[in-house]
Structure 1
Amino acid sequence: MARSRLAGAARLARWADAALGPGRGGPTTDDKATLSDATAERAADDLGLTAAQVRADWDTARLAGLIEVHGDNARPGWRLRAWNRDDSAVLRGWVALFDAWSLACPEPEGHEAAAVAEVVSAMPQVLSFLQLSAGPVPVEQLLDLLRQRVTELRTDRCEVPYDPAAGPAAPAEDGTTTAGTSTAAALGRETALRPAPATRATVSDPDSAAITAPEGPLADALGERTSLAPLLGWALRALAAVGALTDGDGQATLTPLGNWAVWVKLEQICVAAQSPAGNIEQSAEDMLRGCAQLRPNAARAEYRAWLAARPVGSAVTELLGAARGEDALLRGLAFEALRVVGAPAEPDVHAVLDEPALRPYALLWLAEHDGVDAEDAHEVLTRDEATWLWVDTAAAVTDHGEASMLVRHLEAAVQPTVPMLLDEVRTVGHPRTVQVLVALAAAHPDPALAKAVRRAAFQVHTGGS
């Protein structure tokens, strides 16, 4: 279903990749990633569509991550590159579109930005109620739920209720404002379904093209009872435009895709709430340190909980920032966490290939991501890269492991003999080479080998050969 929903956007993204690449004409004239009239007409002629359909597919492709616009150049996003081989990439693309539902339709005119933001913040509760209902829900009931949630938001901020005449919603005996919606209320207090504020602000940009939204009887059914009615109508139309729900006869129903997306969001919140080691609110660096003593499966569970609590993009950036630090152990753990992230981290991992300290880790990550067996992935490294990685891992063992582990680490070297390893370690240029060799000499039980290692450490320290 996700492939069907995004098929038109994927087709346009492939056209843009072929027709709008570097040196072949830019897609925009305003540096805002909106299609110029000339480009829209050109695409319409080539694809047999109307200009309006082209603009709708263009916006969908951008929101779903199928295409990226940088200045005057359009290039395929990682989801388009993975379209034919990775169903999860297609689903992630649709979820990205779903998360950006508030950009799908222009909001009604004449409403304050604060009121619109409150509706956006309250819609997770409405969506979770639809999911829990497992069927059509009258729009009037959704409007009552929306009003209660907005009242809660304002009460939390010590503001007057949205509808002063009605007063705050009376709590039920179980502490909820509507029977059976305690789980929905919990979801409503999370930000998992809420677009980022910076993205949301672009809705009012008159130059921003909107996805064509299907019209339905929702707005008529809402009536004019409160000013929330047209805002709920807008939200439901936008969610219908991205394929999350359908409307008819004054009722709204989640589509299978919408139901799945809300369930995933609820599951993410539950995972985040069950952080095994309690590091969910820590920075990436502190979280990785907290995972250093955990077994692999427990560490992966902690990574998943930490990732579920924050946007993927910022989480990847924070993990790579931790990897750039001086602690080699955190460098290795950061890329283990990035393996849990999977495909969404691919562009950022590609981008660090030019950084010597991260390049070996990034090459191994990309090889495994492309399907290379973990035991064979080291073959993508050059001899120097493999040696640099050996020293970096040895530095982590030196700082955090036992002496016996450092001795056993000799077996991981690509060089067949210790003298060959020492020759290449001396020239690889790792900043921790001397400390690693001194620690290895102190730990190794063979006096002759320890003497050779100390000599190599001295030569690196003095710049000799």
Structure 2
Amino acid sequence: MPALARLARAELADAARLARWVGDRPGGAGPEGTPNRELPAALLAEAAAELGLTAGQIRTAWDRARLSGLIEIHHGTARPGWRLRAWDGDDTAVLRGWVALFDAWSLAHPFLPGPGGPDPALVAEVIEAAPQLLALLHLSQGPVQIDALLDLLRQRVAELRTERHEPPAAGDPLPALLTWALQAATDVGALRPRDPERPDEVALTALGSWAVWVKLEQICVAAQGPAGHMEHSAETMLRASAGLSPGPARAEYRAWLAARPVGSAVAELLEVARGEDALLRGLAFEALRVVGAPAEPAVAEVVNEPVLRPYAVLWLAELDGGDAETAAELLTREEATWLWVDTAAAVADHGDDHLLVSHLEAAVQGSVRALLQEVREVGHPRTVQVLVALAAAHPDPATAKAMRRAAFQVHTGET
């Protein structure tokens, strides 16, 4: 591992330098008004001058620092991420940072089609097929002919299009898309630079081979385990994980994530989180914790969605190194109450009476009366069902009666 970590540090050296520069600069970098997360022109020029890099090198370092977790952006301002603090002494953190960049290769080097270029859906299919190409490179244990990779890519894209009842792609765009994917993987350090004497072959670097081996191992473990759901939808996988203890559940999340591109996996988890099942909402964000920094841009984008906001705020705070108690302070009282009701709905649907009563006792309000008043005002769509379930579960007749009355008032719109 130390040898691999040295390679990863060398690959991300400019990104780490830029992250430290951001940390030393008063006020951080990337002020409000940069929703595309690009470094503003003035700061780009300043960073290039002080670090002795070109503007292009700074742009590349900026993207790599964000994708690897060396820089985090909160409320429009960039600052060093927790991974930078561990950069010199924690080889595991370094390797995970590089793997985050490796997983996001298509974001680090996006495909830029010219006029009449391939359908974006086809580009997405090439990204989805990339893990199989990398697996072939790993299993071959040496250089592989580009023609062999192209044949595999054509086969996989054809399978995907058949599964989705889509027509074959017009023309022959796959050679150009394969060239892009191979160059992007080379640029993040997963493939060796092309040998001028053997330009028709490609091979994995030591870092690339290790990363693919880790992912293949995760997939094999999941396939052999009793809960292997890596080929199923996010919703099916999360439902299956609901009955697991935290350790096996995280292993299930990792295996499921390893079997698909990180971007589409994050999007699918967030879509499940938008659904009506509060338990799946919480589990989706647990799975996103396994993703870590690569999920940060997508989670930050849903902060203003009322259903997801409390979860997203806590997730982002924890990613930034805050503990659960400190993170909870970032929620308004109304948001905390909404989250309490949402969690109660999950317990009511999937737990038992004891857990539901315990959840009532964990409310931040000082009394049942105060809790009921705030719960009635928060507007959660499951409020009535939660109050009815609490009334049925609570052993104290007076408290149960108060719950039933509050449920009736919410149902009838009484104030």
Band the TM-score falls in, shorter-chain normalisation:
0.5 to 0.7
Secondary structure, counterpart of 1:464 in structure 2: coil
Alignment of 1:186-205 (within 5 A): 200=177, 203=180
Q: Which moved more, 1:360-369 or 1:302-311?
A: 360-369
Alignment of 1:352-371 (within 5 A): 352-371=302-321
Residue 237 (structure 2) pairs with residue 231 (structure 1): no
Q: Taking structure 1 as reference, are residues 5 and 303 closer, same or farther at Cα in structure 2, changes over 3 Å only?
A: closer
Alignment of 1:131-170 (within 5 A): 142=143
Q: Taking structure 1 as reference, are residues 440 and 150 closer, same or farther at Cα in structure 2, changes over 3 Å only?
A: closer
Give the C-alpha shift of residue 217 in structure 1: 10
Counterpart of 1:349 in structure 2 is 299
Residue 277 (structure 2) pairs with residue 266 (structure 1): no
Give the C-alpha shift of residue 9 in structure 1: 4.3
Larger Rg: 1
Letter in 2 for 1:91: L
Aligned counterpart in structure 2 of residue 125 of structure 1, from 124, 130, 136:
136
Q: Taking structure 1 as reference, are residues 120 and 65 closer, same or farther at Cα in structure 2, changes over 3 Å only?
A: same
Give the C-alpha shift of residue 359 in structure 1: 1.9
Residue 44 (structure 2) pairs with residue 94 (structure 1): no
What whole-Å deviation, never above 9, does each CA across 1:165-217 have from its counterpart, x for those lacking one? xxxxxxxxxxxxxxxxxxxxxxxxxxxxxxxx89946839xxx9x96999999
Letter in 1 for 2:95: L
Q: Taking structure 1 as reference, are residues 94 and 8 closer, same or farther at Cα in structure 2, changes over 3 Å only?
A: same
Counterpart of 2:385 in structure 1 is 435
Alignment of 1:10-409 (within 5 A): 10-11=16-17, 21=30, 47-49=51-53, 54-55=55-56, 58-59=59-60, 61-62=62-63, 65=66, 81-87=81-87, 90-95=94-99, 100=105, 122=133, 124-130=135-141, 142=143, 200=177, 203=180, 218-220=195-197, 222=198, 230-232=199-201, 235=202, 244=205, 254=206, 257-374=207-324, 377-409=327-359
- Structure 1 unaligned segments of length 5 or more: list them: 69-74, 105-112, 131-136, 159-196, 223-229, 245-253
Secondary structure, counterpart of 2:229 in structure 1: coil
Counterpart of 1:3 in structure 2 is 9
What whole-Å deviation, never above 9, does each CA across 1:263-295 have from its counterpart, x for those lacking one? 333333334434541321221112111222223
Q: Taking structure 1 as reference, are residues 293 and 412 closer, same or farther at Cα in structure 2, changes over 3 Å only?
A: same
Q: Taking structure 1 as reference, are residues 457 and 367 closer, same or farther at Cα in structure 2, changes over 3 Å only?
A: same
What whole-Å deviation, never above 9, does each CA across 1:53-72 have from its counterpart, x for those lacking one? x535644654674599xxxx
Judge conservation of contact 1:13–1:58 (CA < 8 Å) in 2.
no
The 2-side partners of 1:355 and 1:432 are apart by 17
Give the C-alpha shift of residue 84 in structure 1: 1.9
Secondary structure, counterpart of 2:200 in structure 1: helix
Letter in 1 for 2:196: A
The 2-side partners of 1:384 and 1:119 are apart by 44
Q: Which has the higher helix share?
A: 2
Judge conservation of contact 2:376–2:406 (CA < 8 Å) in 1.
yes
The 2-side partners of 1:312 and 1:217 are apart by 26
Secondary structure, counterpart of 1:460 in structure 2: helix
Give the C-alpha shift of residue 374 in structure 1: 3.6
Q: Taking structure 1 as reference, are residues 57 and 6 closer, same or farther at Cα in structure 2, changes over 3 Å only?
A: farther
Letter in 1 for 2:260: R
Give the C-alpha shift of residue 447 in structure 1: 2.3
Give the C-alpha shift of residue 11 in structure 1: 4.1
Counterpart of 1:133 in structure 2 is none
TM (normalized to structure 1)?
0.61
The 2-side partners of 1:20 and 1:48 are apart by 18
Give the C-alpha shift of residue 328 in structure 1: 1.1
Q: Taking structure 1 as reference, are residues 263 and 290 closer, same or farther at Cα in structure 2, changes over 3 Å only?
A: closer
Give the C-alpha shift of residue 151 in structure 1: 7.3
Q: How many residues align?
A: 357
The 2-side partners of 1:372 and 1:408 are apart by 25
Letter in 2 for 1:84: L
Q: Taking structure 1 as reference, are residues 351 and 90 closer, same or farther at Cα in structure 2, changes over 3 Å only?
A: farther
Give the C-alpha shift of residue 14 in structure 1: 7.5
The 2-side partners of 1:301 and 1:329 are apart by 19
Secondary structure, counterpart of 1:219 in structure 2: coil
**Percent identity over paired residues:** 57
Give the C-alpha shift of residue 322 in structure 1: 0.8
The 1-side partners of 2:352 and 2:29 are apart by 56
Judge conservation of contact 1:441–1:451 (CA < 8 Å) in 2.
yes
RMSD: 4.8
Judge conservation of contact 1:55–1:211 (CA < 8 Å) in 2.
no
Give the C-alpha shift of residue 309 in structure 1: 1.1
- Structure 2 unaligned segments of length 5 or more: list them: 1-5, 70-75, 110-117, 119-125, 159-173
The 2-side partners of 1:198 and 1:452 are apart by 68
The 2-side partners of 1:386 and 1:16 are apart by 33
Letter in 1 for 2:136: Q
Letter in 2 for 1:353: V
Give the C-alpha shift of residue 47 in structure 1: 4.3
TM (normalized to structure 2)?
0.67
Counterpart of 2:165 in structure 1 is none
The 2-side partners of 1:217 and 1:409 are apart by 59
Judge conservation of contact 1:122–1:146 (CA < 8 Å) in 2.
no
Give the C-alpha shift of residue 323 in structure 1: 0.9
